[in-house]
Structure 1
Amino acid sequence: MSKYTTGEIAKLCGVTVRTVQYYDKRGILVPSELSEGGRRLYSEDDVKRLRVICFLRGLGFNIDSISKLTSEDDPGSVIMLLLEQQEQTLTAELNECSDRLAKIKQMKRELKDIENFSVESIGDIAHTMTGKKELRKIHRNILLSAVPVTLLQIATVVLWLTVGIWWPFVIWAVIDVVYGVIISRYYFNSVAYICPQCHTVFVPKVREALFANHTPSTRKLTCSSCGHCGFCVEVARPKDNT
């Protein structure tokens, strides 16, 4: 039966001598015998074992898991559990990398729209990206509440026009005004704005914000910090400003 030195088994399995020595030190690849001169000698079974170790390391298993697996008399009872644990770990890492990649792509898109780039611009984008999920939640809540209100309002109009019963429309018009006040207060109590001049996150007065010219993501306001008047980016209001 063939015997291999540390350097020979390392070359056969495509690893470094230091790696073989490390596995020996950790007790997962102990040489079959020692030569008269004290050299470590590995057998064909050791070569197979090292290849298995390299394969498992390639799947991301740590040394402790490999040690546990290779020391089992019945490794089949352990491998499935270890594979499931590794799958969960890799899935979590993949999701984290995907989230980072999405943020990088979004940052690149945001930077393309900035004419006068500065370090503060990164802070503005980061603040916007961080609160985007919360901002979508605010918009979704408003939309979900507005749909039934609108449908009922349309129903009262149809009832008036087709049957001539007008009083439900009048009652619902009053309710609609109350709803408008409540939902407006909810909205403006949930958002804030970033000044493009001084990069301060500020909360405008409700009256000013209500009647200000706006786009889906900006509103023309006067910054409460520097007094700049212009279109400010809408973000979810920070927790400390609620």
Structure 2
Amino acid sequence: MSQSYSTGEVAKLSGVTVRTVQYYDQKGILSPSDISEGGRRIYSEEDLRNLQVIVFLRELDFSLEQIRRFMAEESADKTLELLLQEHISQLQKERNQLKNKLDMSVNLLDKIKSQSSTSLESLADISLTMKNQKAWRNLQWKMSIIMAAIVIAHSVLVQTMSYFKVTWLLLGIVPISVVVYSALIYYFKKQTLYLCSNCHQTFEPSFKIFALATHTPKTRRLTCPHCHRKSYCLELAKEKE
């Protein structure tokens, strides 16, 4: 004769509360095999095993919808395999998101420690620059590749002309190089904007001012059109919409 259990018994044997078992019943994930004349839910040994499986999957952070799909399928092995693949992919995504948040928190703490005081405005600036780091690095990497390609093409062209002794054509390389590098600078300028350290607003300088301004790898000395103060403004990459 097979063993039968009450709601409280299956809850205790599975390490969950009675309310949890009742909740799974309401959601249609685990219904009792029988109901007594007095209206009490009666669970079988199979129900108990199913509940223990549900509890195990919940410990792995499976959603109720995923568990419902698994419990409803006859080919449980194949369904579980697909669900695990889906679940692992989601966990990896969440892990990457948590890692990014952890890295941002650590960087933020380091920046705050390095400053004597931190205002809401400066905190907003830090937040903006940290979020923009990936886009800014991608832009720098792209510009490096383009620059390297131009330098290599220029070198090959000069060597080819020298080899075939067409030195008169070399005179045309200078204006061509000026045009190419000006176009490259213009392209870079169109991909960036600047954050004023004084009024904490972003702006885009004109091409002439941009090209002539002194700069560091991450800043450029510009006059902010909002507060009209000249300072080294932080360079940001425009985010793709």
**TM tier, shorter chain?**
0.7 to 0.9
Relative distance call for 1:153 and 1:74 in structure 2 (3 A) is closer
Number of equivalenced pairs:
240
The TM-score normalised by the length of structure 2 is 0.81
Aligned partner of residue 70 in structure 1, secondary structure: helix
- Identical columns (%): 36
Task: State the partner residue of 1:108.
Answer: 109
Task: State the partner residue of 1:28.
Answer: 29
Q: Can you list the C-alpha shifts for 1:4-56, whole angstroms capped at 9, x where unaligned? A: 32222211111011111112233333334445654333333222121111112
The residue type paired with residue 147 of structure 2 is A
Q: Hey, what's the Cα distance between the residues in 1 that align with 2:96 and 2:109?
A: 20
Q: Can you list the C-alpha shifts for 1:151-210, whole angstroms capped at 9, x where unaligned? A: 344457767999986445432222111112212222223222111111111222333332
Single out whichever of 143-152 and 189-198 deviates more from structure 2: 143-152
Q: Hey, what's the Cα distance between the residues in 2 that align with 1:114 and 1:168?
A: 56
Q: Hey, what's the Cα distance between the residues in 1 that align with 2:239 and 2:31?
A: 58
User: Is the Cα–Cα contact under 8 Å of residues 149 and 176 in structure 1 kept in the other structure?
Assistant: no
Task: State the partner residue of 2:219.
Answer: 218
Q: Hey, what's the Cα distance between the residues in 2 that align with 1:52 and 1:239?
A: 45
Aligned partner of residue 42 in structure 1, secondary structure: strand
User: Is the Cα–Cα contact under 8 Å of residues 159 and 166 in structure 1 kept in the other structure?
Assistant: no
Task: State the partner residue of 1:93.
Answer: 94
User: Is the Cα–Cα contact under 8 Å of residues 3 and 43 in structure 1 kept in the other structure?
Assistant: yes
Q: Hey, what's the Cα distance between the residues in 1 that align with 2:51 and 2:26?
A: 14
* Runs of 5+ unmatched residues, structure 1: none
Single out whichever of 19-28 and 134-143 deviates more from structure 2: 134-143
User: Is the Cα–Cα contact under 8 Å of residues 135 and 239 in structure 2 kept in the other structure?
Assistant: no
The residue type paired with residue 29 of structure 1 is L
Q: Can you list the C-alpha shifts for 1:97-152, whole angstroms capped at 9, x where unaligned? A: 33333333343344445444211122222332343333334333332222233234
Q: Residue 124 in 1 paired to residue 125 in 2?
A: yes
Task: State the partner residue of 1:193.
Answer: 194
User: Is the Cα–Cα contact under 8 Å of residues 32 and 43 in structure 2 kept in the other structure?
Assistant: yes
Q: Hey, what's the Cα distance between the residues in 1 that align with 2:81 and 2:160?
A: 65
Aligned partner of residue 216 in structure 1, secondary structure: coil
The TM-score normalised by the length of structure 1 is 0.80
Q: Hey, what's the Cα distance between the residues in 1 that align with 2:36 and 2:154?
A: 93
Single out whichever of 187-196 and 61-70 deviates more from structure 2: 61-70
User: Is the Cα–Cα contact under 8 Å of residues 153 and 169 in structure 1 kept in the other structure?
Assistant: no
User: Is the Cα–Cα contact under 8 Å of residues 135 and 238 in structure 2 kept in the other structure?
Assistant: no
Q: Hey, what's the Cα distance between the residues in 1 that align with 2:60 and 2:238?
A: 44
RMSD between aligned alpha carbons?
Answer: 3.1
The residue type paired with residue 234 of structure 2 is V
* Runs of 5+ unmatched residues, structure 2: none
Task: State the partner residue of 1:231.
Answer: 232
